[in-house]
């Protein structure tokens, strides 16, 4: 049985813990590895290692920190498909989907390579006579990241490269459900030349997370995951006087106007709704059909019904299994509730199994019509391959519907009318908006900007806001008296 190691002070070590968590292959639920629940001593050692490394790393030239990220980016690209294969086997994602997961993480590392420009401060000369004021951007210290199962490459790479490039050190607690991918990312980081203690990895569950949240040497916490856990982490971290950015749940709506390009709409909605088995915080889980566009629902259902789940290396598979049997049972329960509460199930994937892999966490593509706001399948984040179709009479109704929803991660509108698009982007209370783009995840030189119950905190991930989250601003007001300048033949100025 493969034992997942801890990374402490630049060394991969076997944990002494007697508690382990099974890592399973979602396609058949066979155990493929075990992740340890780090002991109290191991947690302390990881944090102490990061704290010690910070003493020297903060003084390393910013250009040298950038070059570390350049070397890391090159290694990630070289090992791109290898990482994707590891990721596929422990998450069940199709190979193409896994490659996208890795690539989006690489793009954030490329942003971290630009850290000298991102760390620049400001200056004003002569704020008063002979007095100048300028600011520096300086690192915080030891930062922590708590990451989810659904993007085990991309989301850790959202966090530690930017934090470390900014001069911090990092303790990562990845998801216990797929820890092999973050471990491989860390191996390549060390191969790139990362000094000891810059990145530490601990494994476990709630106890290990709470250890990080209460530890006085942790200065900032980044999290991606569910709403209840996100709320707990945000409250606990801030109660312990830490910075926190917590990305939580979502219920993303796509609004379809009657003047939209029908073929583009239907093709985009298929992948955006059931791709990655719906296990994306930016998945489209509600399609809002305005006016006559409702006539497209049957054709959309027919297209989604043709999407076939399968194994990670099946090139014809549309998506893979859910991450766990617990996740599968939850999705099946919500599908049943949708039927019981009066929604029309146009495509029912609840009985799907894959021949030879009947023990896997399979749910087929599912489509509901006649969905209302009162239904559980509308109110809850399903996190499965389930699309809810809602019909409204006008753009104003669609905007009101989306704005009433407690989540605000992402949304999109399909239309050929620029005025309608502008009205939507201006009035909608959602952090990320797509216009004729189904899943509007920004490239890393912008920030990932969820709103409402999709995000707790002030500064978002990556981009300029990510750098601000991992740094403090120091402002200096300086005055030098000209009378102190040496004059005459015996003038000496020391350059030491």
What does the pLDDT read at residue 485? 79
Please report the pLDDT score of residue 322 as a whole number.
Answer: 98
Give this prediction's pTM. Answer: 0.96
Half-sphere exposure of 28 (CA within 13 A, CB side): 9
* 101 vs 197: CA distance, rounded Å: 26
pLDDT band at 482 (very low <50, low <70, confident <90, very high): confident
The active-site residue out of 246, 281, 345, 388 is: 281
- pLDDT tens by residue, 38-59: 999 999 999 999 999 999 999 9
Question: In the predicted model, is pLDDT for residue 495 greater than 80?
Answer: no
pLDDT over threshold 60, residue 314: yes
483: confidence class by pLDDT, cuts 50, 70, 90: confident
Band of residue 387 on the pLDDT scale cut at 50, 70, 90:
very high
Question: Does 281 participate in catalysis according to the annotation?
Answer: yes
The pLDDT assigned to 489 comes to 65
pLDDT of the residue at 487: 75
**Mean pLDDT, the chain, integer:** 97
pLDDT at 82: 98
In this prediction, residue 88 carries a pLDDT of 98
Rounded percentage of the chain residues whose pLDDT exceeds 70: 98
The yes-or-no verdict on residue 494 having pLDDT over 80 is: no
Using CA atoms, how far apart are residues 266 and 145, in angstroms rounded to an integer? 37
Is residue 142 a contact partner of residue 218, using CB atoms and an 8 Å limit? yes
- pLDDT (tens digit per residue) in 146-175: 999 999 999 999 999 999 999 999 999 999
**Mean pLDDT calculated for residue range 301-311:** 98
| The pLDDT value given to residue 269 | 98
Q: Is the pLDDT of residue 488 over 80?
A: no
Strands (E), 190-316: 199-201, 218-224, 243-247, 252-256, 284-290
Is residue 490 pLDDT above 80, yes or no? no
Structural domains in the chain?
A: 2-249+450-478 (3.40.605.10), 252-406+410-435 (3.40.309.10)
Say if CB 100 and CB 180 are below 8 A apart: no
Q: Nearest-CA neighbor of 238 among 219, 225, 255?
A: 219
């Amino acid at each position: 049985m493969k034992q997942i190691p801890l990374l402490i002070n630049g060394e991969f070590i076997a944990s002494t813990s007697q508690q382990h968590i099974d890592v399973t292959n979602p396609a058949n639920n066979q155990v493929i590895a075990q992740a340890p629940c780090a002991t109290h001593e191991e947690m302390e050692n990881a944090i102490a290692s990061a704290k010690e490394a910070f003493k020297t790393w903060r003084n390393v030239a910013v250009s040298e920190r950038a070059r570390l990220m350049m070397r890391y980016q090159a290694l990630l690209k070289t090992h791109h498909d290898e990482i994707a294969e590891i990721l596929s086997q422990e998450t069940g994602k199709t190979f193409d989907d896994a490659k996208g997961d890795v690539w989006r993480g690489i793009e954030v590392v490329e942003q971290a390579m630009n850290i000298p420009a991102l760390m620049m401060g400001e200056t004003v000369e002569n704020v008063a006579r002979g007095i100048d004021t300028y600011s520096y951007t300086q690192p915080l210290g030891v930062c922590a990241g708590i990451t989810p199962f659904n993007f085990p490459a991309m989301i850790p790479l959202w966090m530690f490269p930017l934090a470390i490039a900014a001069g911090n050190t990092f303790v990562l607690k990845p998801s216990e459900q797929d820890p092999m991918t973050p471990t491989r990312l860390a191996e390549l980081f060390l191969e790139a030349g990362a000094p000891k203690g810059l990145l530490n990895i601990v494994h476990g569950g709630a106890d290990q997370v709470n250890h990080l949240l209460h530890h006085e040497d942790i200065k900032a916490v980044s999290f991606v995951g569910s709403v209840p856990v996100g709320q707990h982490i945000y409250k606990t971290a801030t109660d312990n006087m830490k910075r926190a950015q917590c990305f939580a749940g979502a219920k993303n709506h796509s609004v379809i106007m009657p003047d939209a390009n029908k073929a583009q709409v239907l093709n985009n909605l298929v992948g955006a709704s059931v791709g990655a088995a719906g296990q994306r915080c930016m998945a489209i889980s509600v399609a809002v059909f305005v006016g006559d566009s409702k006539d497209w629902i049957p054709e959309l259902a027919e297209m989604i019904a043709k999407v076939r789940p399968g194994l990670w290396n099946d090139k014809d598979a549309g998506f893979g299994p859910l991450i766990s049997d617990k996740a599968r049972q939850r999705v099946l329960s919500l599908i049943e509730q949708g039927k019981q509460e009066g929604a029309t199930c146009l495509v029912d994937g609840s009985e799907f199994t894959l021949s030879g892999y009947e023990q896997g966490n399979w749910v087929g593509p599912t489509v509901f019509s006649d969905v209302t706001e009162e239904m559980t399948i509308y109110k809850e984040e399903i996190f499965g391959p389930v699309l809810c179709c809602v019909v409204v009479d006008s753009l104003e109704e669609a905007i009101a519907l989306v704005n009433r929803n407690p989540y605000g991660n992402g949304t999109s509108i399909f239309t050929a009318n620029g005025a309608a698009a502008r009205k939507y982007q201006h009035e909608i209370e959602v952090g990320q908006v797509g216009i004729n783009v189904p899943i509007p995840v920004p490239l890393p030189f912008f920030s990932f900007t969820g709103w409402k119950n999709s995000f707790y905190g002030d500064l978002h991930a990556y981009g300029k806001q990510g750098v601000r989250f991992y740094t403090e601003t120091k402002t200096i007001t300086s005055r030098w008296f000209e009378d102190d300048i040496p004059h005459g033949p015996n003038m000496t100025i020391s350059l030491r």
